[in-house]
A and B are shown apart, each in its own frame.
Chain A
Amino acid sequence: MNLKPRRRNTDDPGSSGSLNDLSFLLIIFFIVIAGFNTTKGFLITLPDTSRPRLVHQEDLMRCTLKDTGAIILDGQEVSLDELRTVVQSKRTSYPNMTFLLVIESETKYQHVIDIIHEIRRLDVENFSFRMEDNVQH
Chain B
Amino acid sequence: MFSIKRKRLKPSIATSSMSDIGFLLLIFIMVISLINQRYEEKIEYTEAQQLEKTEADENLEIWIRRDGAISIEGDYISLEYMEALIVSAVSQDPMVRIHLIADRNTPYKYVDEAVKILQKLQHRVVSFVVREEL
Q: Which A residues lie at the B interface, using CB under 8 A?
A: 16-17, 19-20, 23-24, 26-27, 30-31, 33-34, 37-49, 103-110, 112-114, 116-117, 120-121, 131, 135, 137
Of A44, A103, A106, A114, the contact of B125 (CB 8 Å cutoff): A44
Instruction: Please report the total number of B residues contacting A with Cβ < 8 Å.
Output: 53
Q: Can you identify 12 A-B contacts, CB atoms within 8 angstroms?
A: A16-B18, A20-B15, A20-B18, A23-B19, A37-B38, A39-B54, A40-B130, A41-B51, A41-B52, A43-B54, A43-B125, A106-B109
Q: Mark B92-118, 1 if CB is under 8 A from A, else 0.
A: 000000010011111111011001101
Residues of A contacting B132 with CB < 8 Å? 40
Q: Is the CB of B53 within 8 A of A39?
A: yes
A-B pair count, CB < 8 Å, reads 145
Residues of B contacting A106 with CB < 8 Å? 107-109
Residues of B contacting A105 with CB < 8 Å? 107-109, 112
Residue B124 is within 8 A (CB to CB) of chain A in the complex: yes
Residues of A contacting B108 with CB < 8 Å? 103-109, 112, 131
Q: Is the CB of A109 within 8 A of B119?
A: no
Residue B30 is within 8 A (CB to CB) of chain A in the complex: yes
Q: Mark B1-42, 1 if CB is under 8 A from A, else 0.
A: 000000000000001101100110110011011001110000
Task: Give the CA-CA distance A120 to B116 in the complex, in Å.
Answer: 22
Q: Is the CB of B125 within 8 A of A45?
A: yes
Task: Give the CA-CA distance A40 to B53 in the complex, in Å.
Answer: 4
Q: Mark B56-68, 1 if CB is under 8 A from A, else 0.
A: 0001010000000
User: Which residue, of B22, B23, B55, B99, has the highest number of chain A Cβ atoms within 10 A?
Assistant: B22
Of A23, A108, A121, the contact of B105 (CB 8 Å cutoff): A108
